[in-house]
């Protein structure tokens, strides 16, 4: 059952994770239609996830809460409890590491585990069943597992049977099992990519596997060749426990209480978002070479605009300066519904090199202790403990966002 040359990789995907964690903490919710959603009073009433009982009523992620309640009047709604989900996630990954250190988390509720050297524990199927059963018995958390010789096929397998499914996909199964599926069901192919492929009659995974490589590269760049390889069941990526620490971007977004054209109010929101992104960058000891602004208008049209920088930045005031430039250049003066600030092209702080000139060096050196003091005060007493010359219009919402990035690896008591 274990190959002489090659790997055996599992993809462990927790089923309806947030809802399952809530049921684990409150067993009275078991078997009931349950949804995790934001604060409807602040128009964040969007379903984040829901139990399978709720899904049976037609409820799904991203559905407006009012629509979900119309479909299921008895729907139980919980706001996200991120500290609780982090603790459950950490416990889940700690358990997986009892089998092997080759565990690679990819999000709060899923990860890869290389069990190639676990042959003394039983066959791959027996190991997967044991993992699934013990996660359910000990943590009360259900999962689905894909078993395959590589990460791509393992990921495809875990998606095939939910909840509590186990699927084995071998390379020889690719043509029969994967090729007939619509191309948008392939991991790594989103709806936008599928739209680009349709005019070329690439409609199934099999079509992608047999497509012309040169045409794919012209259409999708280097990702076209990668997707073709995956469609043929080829994926040489190892399970890398350290990959989780590679941050490509850190961002926050928030929906305004009401659609707004009030720049004073909008700038206050952008300042809070910049503060949050700056704190997260510092926790991870990263700096940013690109800053991105996201604007969603009242008609749901969304734009993202970014600026690449000569020198990396991390301070909130520097992030906000770039955001203001992007805002003034790209805002259409239409009412705004949602705003987002993202730091991109991240570099480890110790690897970053800033081109300091004779005039900026002295000021940078002077400001560093000030920035450190402000950061410590805000972390201890909140965002409004001290401000750099800005007036306060209203209190910041205590509702936490729904995007984790990879923050779940942080200590739940300090990562807020």
Look at residue 44 and tell me if it is in a domain.
yes
Evaluate if residue 334 carries a pLDDT over 60: yes
Evaluate if residue 190 carries a pLDDT over 50: yes
Helix axes 222-231, 213-220, angle to 10 degrees: 130
* pLDDT at residue number 12: 98
Identify the top-confidence range among 39-43, 94-98, 257-261, 391-395: 94-98
Evaluate if residue 235 carries a pLDDT over 90: yes
Evaluate if residue 284 carries a pLDDT over 80: yes
* pLDDT at residue number 192: 87
Whether residues 255 and 400 share a domain: the answer is yes
Evaluate if residue 360 carries a pLDDT over 80: no
Task: Give the residue numbers spanning the domain of 305.
Answer: 247-409
Whether residues 281 and 393 share a domain: the answer is yes
Tell me the per-residue pLDDT of 61-72, one tens digit each, with 9 for 90 and over: 888 888 999 999
Look at residue 187 and tell me if it is in a domain.
no
Look at residue 224 and tell me if it is in a domain.
no
* pLDDT at residue number 405: 42
Whether residues 404 and 255 share a domain: the answer is yes
Look at residue 196 and tell me if it is in a domain.
no
Q: Are 385 and 323 in contact (CB under 8 A)?
A: no
Look at residue 165 and tell me if it is in a domain.
no
Whether residues 402 and 256 share a domain: the answer is yes
Model confidence band, residue 40 (pLDDT cutoffs 50, 70, 90): low
Interval 4-10 mean pLDDT:
90
Interval 111-128 mean pLDDT:
94
From 107-111, 245-249, 287-291, the region with the lowest mean pLDDT: 245-249
Backbone angles phi, psi at 348, to 5 degrees: -60, 135
Model confidence band, residue 412 (pLDDT cutoffs 50, 70, 90): very low
Whether residues 261 and 387 share a domain: the answer is yes
* pLDDT at residue number 381: 55
Domain containing residue 309: CATH number: 3.30.1490.100
Domain containing residue 44: CATH number: 3.40.1170.60
Look at residue 219 and tell me if it is in a domain.
no
Look at residue 192 and tell me if it is in a domain.
no
Say whether 299 counts as a known binding-site residue: no
- Pairing mode, strands 249-260 and 336-348: antiparallel
Is-catalytic flag, 110?
yes
* pLDDT at residue number 368: 54
Distance, C-alpha 58 to centroid of its chain:
24
From 8-12, 259-263, 389-393, the region with the lowest mean pLDDT: 389-393
Evaluated on CA atoms 357, 358, 364, 369, the torsion sign reads: positive
Greater pLDDT, 353 or 179: 179
Mean pLDDT of the chain: 85
Interval 311-330 mean pLDDT:
94
Question: Per the structure, how many domains does the chain have?
Answer: 2
Evaluate if residue 201 carries a pLDDT over 70: yes
Of 22, 42, 67, 110, the catalytic one is 110
- Which SS3 state, helix, strand or coil, does residue 249 take? strand
Look at residue 180 and tell me if it is in a domain.
no
From 106-120, 155-169, 239-253, 349-363, the region with the lowest mean pLDDT: 349-363
Q: Are 68 and 393 in contact (CB under 8 A)?
A: no
Say whether 372 counts as a known binding-site residue: no
Whether residues 253 and 141 share a domain: the answer is no
Q: How far is CA 394 from CA 112, 255, 265, 272, in A?
A: 44, 15, 9, 11
Evaluate if residue 388 carries a pLDDT over 50: no
Evaluate if residue 357 carries a pLDDT over 50: no
Evaluate if residue 367 carries a pLDDT over 50: yes
Evaluate if residue 155 carries a pLDDT over 80: yes
Backbone angles phi, psi at 412, to 5 degrees: -60, -25
Interval 32-37 mean pLDDT:
94
């Amino acid at each position: 059952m274990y190959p002489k040359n090659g790997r055996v990789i599992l993809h462990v995907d927790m089923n309806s994770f947030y809802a399952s964690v809530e049921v684990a903490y409150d067993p009275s919710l078991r078997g009931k239609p349950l949804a995790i959603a934001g604060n409807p009073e602040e128009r964040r009433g969007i379903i984040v996830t829901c139990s399978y009982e709720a899904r049976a009523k037609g409820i799904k992620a991203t559905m407006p809460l009012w629509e979900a309640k119309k479909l299921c009047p008895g729907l139980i709604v919980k706001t996200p409890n991120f500290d609780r989900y982090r603790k459950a996630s950490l416990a889940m990954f700690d358990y997986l590491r009892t089998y092997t250190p080759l565990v690679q988390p990819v999000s709060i509720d899923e990860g890869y585990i290389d069990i190639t050297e676990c042959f003394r524990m039983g066959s791959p199927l027996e190991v997967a069943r044991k993992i699934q059963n013990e996660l359910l018995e000990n943590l009360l958390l259900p999962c689905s597992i894909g078993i395959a010789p590589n990460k791509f096929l393992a990921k495809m397998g875990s998606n095939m049977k939910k909840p509590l499914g186990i699927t084995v996909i071998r390379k020889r199964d690719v043509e029969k099992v994967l090729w007939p599926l619509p191309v948008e069901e392939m991991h790594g192919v989103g709806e936008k990519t599928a739209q680009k492929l349709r005019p070329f009659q690439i409609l199934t995974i099999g079509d992608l596997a047999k497509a012309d490589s040169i045409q794919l590269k012209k259409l999708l760049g280097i990702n076209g060749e990668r997707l073709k390889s995956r469609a043929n069941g080829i994926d040489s990526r190892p399970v890398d426990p350290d990959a989780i620490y590679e941050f490509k971007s850190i961002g926050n977004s928030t929906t305004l209480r009401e659609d707004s054209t009030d720049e004073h109010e909008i700038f206050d929101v952008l300042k809070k978002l910049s503060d949050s992104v700056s704190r997260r960058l510092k926790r991870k000891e990263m700096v940013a070479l690109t800053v991105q602004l996201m604007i969603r208008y009242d008609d749901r049209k969304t734009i993202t605009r970014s600026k690449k920088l000569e020198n990396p930045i991390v301070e909130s005031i520097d992030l906000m300066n770039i955001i203001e430039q992007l805002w003034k250049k790209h805002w259409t003066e239409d009412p705004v519904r949602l705003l987002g600030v993202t730091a991109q092209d991240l570099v480890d702080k110790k690897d970053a090199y800033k081109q300091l000139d004779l005039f900026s060096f002295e000021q940078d050196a002077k400001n560093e202790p000030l920035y450190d003091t402000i950061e410590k005060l805000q972390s201890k007493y909140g965002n409004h403990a001290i401000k750099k010359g800005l007036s306060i219009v209203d209190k910041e919402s205590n509702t936490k966002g729904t995007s984790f990035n990879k923050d779940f690896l942080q200590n739940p008591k300090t990562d807020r």
